[in-house]
Structure 1
Amino acid sequence: MSPFAILFPDLSPEIFSVEIGSFSFALRWYALAYIAGFLFGWWIIIGLMKRAALWPANTAPMEPGRVEGLLTYVILGVILGGRLGYVLFYQPGYYLSHPAEILRIWEGGMSFHGGFAGVIIAGLIFCRRHSVPPLQIADAMALVAPIGIGLGRFANFINAELWGRPTLQPWGVVFPGAQAQSCPWDWPMPFCARHPTQLYEAALEGVLLFVVLAWLVWRRGWLKTPGAVTGVFVAGYGLARFIVEFFRQPDAQFITLDNPMGHVLSLGPLGLTMGQMLSLPMIVAGLGLLFWRRRA
């Protein structure tokens, strides 16, 4: 009997493309996700700066007009940090041998953890240059970050990339390119059904995390405790990513015949993937920041 599985819909990674002579341009869903995430974040942060009552001493950390400058720093931090993080964490040997390809971000290869570090550095530079409190700015950015993350994960699904491990669950998706030879069982179809981990991450890291943070900000007044919202975001993302990594297919360079699970740290019969290794410090740091600021 053939196991039930959902066939991946016929979706193009390009929304539209234009070719005029030798000039060509294509708008991809992944690029649109970035653009929409930045725009929604810009709009929400401006709204936060206009509501002084949400902040300590009923004073917003900066004028709404400065949000555009903050957005510029964040965009640079995401792109540079995300790319360098991927190069250093996932394929350092390859890019050391092919340094010219580091700049080819249009070919894919971005790391959330690298982008997160890039945003921290960019945000600190912005706060230092404009004399604004960094923890309060971090809280504003933490609130809107799940929007961009969730949209990005939906774009990953449309692109049919970063899919999960093989599964026999009825919601498994047969992604193009997931060959049946990689299944741990006899699979009667030419492609292997896998966990749609892009949607798992969109739900946990995007929708659920944003709902929790929005409730803490607008219902519980947590912006009055600088750093608390940031702590929840950092720990919440780290925990969500750590859980999803049990179902997510590791990057191909970590998978070998001796290590089919793609673990970078073996713990007896168990192990941790690179995503889990990078998420553990986030969980610890987020909880530490949360307890420190709430206690203060």
Structure 2
Amino acid sequence: MIGALNPIALHLGGLEIHWYGVIIAMAVLIAVTLAMKEATARGVNEDHILNLVLWALPFALIGARLYYVMFEWGYYVKHPAEIIAIWKGGIAIYGALIAAVIVFLVYCHYKWLSPWLIFDIAAPTVMLAQAIGRWGNFMNQEAFGAKTTLTYLRGLHLPEFIIQQMNINGAFRQPTFLYESMWNLVGFVLIMSIRHHKHWFKQGEIFLSYVMWYSFGRFFVEGMRTDSLYLAAGLRVSQLLSIVLFVVALGIFIWRRKKQDEPWYLEGNTLKALNN
């Protein structure tokens, strides 16, 4: 029988390189490469993508940590020294995404870029990075769901290495990391398949579609997880935020679609002369 996988990829002297970090780095590299290619096609200098990544990544990490600490404040107010102890775990993807959006908005403002176009370019690749990144949770045996049975997992026709990795603390668990990863992967393939159709998307609508797709799936996956952050008993933070994001994104999508002067996505960068 296959045992749990080693979360350590390799040792460099006294330094341990975790699979989680390797997988996240790989996800970012793939996402950036795809975004740079699409940026060039849409008339945006690819250097802007690199600059955005360099600015957004550290702030996204800070945002992910602050989001987690904020909703676990009852613990951290008693252990303030652990607020920065990110190596012990405790980050939230929604916090990272919110921080990254703020960085994008500020950068686009100062560089005279359309934030809607930049969001559209980045959104599908971010979704792919999220799909890949969940496998870092898999290696760490985290982001799992409630207890289940070996029979149930084998009924999903999963590879044996996934089934055995879901044997956590003596009990098999729902592979919620896998559910979210697959949901994001399907969304990525779908958006990538249709985003270049003429007059299908106005600028901003690819990003808004991503928000709706991700928040819809996250609502249901979050309901199956056992490590959720709560606002109150029975009220999960990520589920509430998912509902808000879905409704707001849908409303903005409908409002922008009715406007006649919004450029189409395939028109690309209409301010090219100013920001190249």
Number of equivalences:
250
Aligned to 2:35: 45
Q: Match of 2:118, SS?
A: helix
- In structure 2, relative to structure 1, the CA distance for the partners of 1:170 and 1:117 (3 Å cut) is same
Contact 1:8 1:176 in 2 (8 A): no
Equivalent residue in structure 1 for 2:237, among 241, 265, 274: 274
Contact 1:165 1:247 in 2 (8 A): yes
Instruction: Tell me the percent identity.
Output: 27
Give a deviation string over 1:253-274, Cα, whole Å, max 9, x none. x7xxxxxxxx7556xxxx5433
Distance 2:123 2:2 in 1: 33
Larger RCO: Structure 1 or Structure 2 (Cα < 8 Å, ≥ 6 residues apart)?
2
Distance 1:119 1:35 in 2: 16
Aligned to 1:208: 186
The RMSD of aligned alpha carbons is 2.3
Aligned to 1:244: 221
Question: Residue type of the partner of 1:293?
Answer: R
Aligned to 1:104: 85
Aligned to 1:26: 16
Contact 2:166 2:173 in 1 (8 A): no
Deviation, structure 1 residue 8 = 6.9
Give a deviation string over 1:220-243, Cα, whole Å, max 9, x none. 565x51110111111111111111
Distance 1:280 1:265 in 2: 16
Give a deviation string over 1:191-215, Cα, whole Å, max 9, x none. 22221111111101x2111112212
Aligned to 1:170: 152
Contact 1:227 1:289 in 2 (8 A): no
Deviation, structure 1 residue 71 = 1.0
Equivalent residue in structure 2 for 1:82, among 61, 64, 85: 64
TM-score by length of 2: 0.82
Question: Residue type of the partner of 1:11?
Answer: L
Distance 2:103 2:3 in 1: 38
TM-score by length of 1: 0.77
Deviation, structure 1 residue 155 = 1.1
Does 1:17 pair with 2:11? Answer: yes
Contact 1:197 1:247 in 2 (8 A): yes
Aligned to 1:235: 212
Aligned to 1:186: none
Q: Which has the higher helix share?
A: 2
Deviation, structure 1 residue 30 = 1.4
Give a deviation string over 1:55-85, Cα, whole Å, max 9, x none. xxxxx2x312222111112212321111111
Q: Match of 1:11, SS?
A: coil
Deviation, structure 1 residue 137 = 0.8
Aligned to 1:113: 94
Aligned to 1:57: none
- In structure 2, relative to structure 1, the CA distance for the partners of 1:145 and 1:221 (3 Å cut) is farther
Distance 1:10 1:192 in 2: 12
Deviation, structure 1 residue 216 = 2.7
- In structure 2, relative to structure 1, the CA distance for the partners of 1:128 and 1:175 (3 Å cut) is same
Deviation, structure 1 residue 174 = 5.9
Give a deviation string over 1:104-150, Cα, whole Å, max 9, x none. 22221111111111011111111122111111111112111112211
Contact 1:231 1:285 in 2 (8 A): no
Contact 1:174 1:192 in 2 (8 A): no
Equivalent residue in structure 2 for 1:292, among 242, 248, 255: 255
Q: Match of 1:162, SS?
A: coil
Contact 1:74 1:123 in 2 (8 A): yes
Q: Which moved more, 1:236-245 or 1:34-43?
A: 34-43
Distance 2:106 2:131 in 1: 26
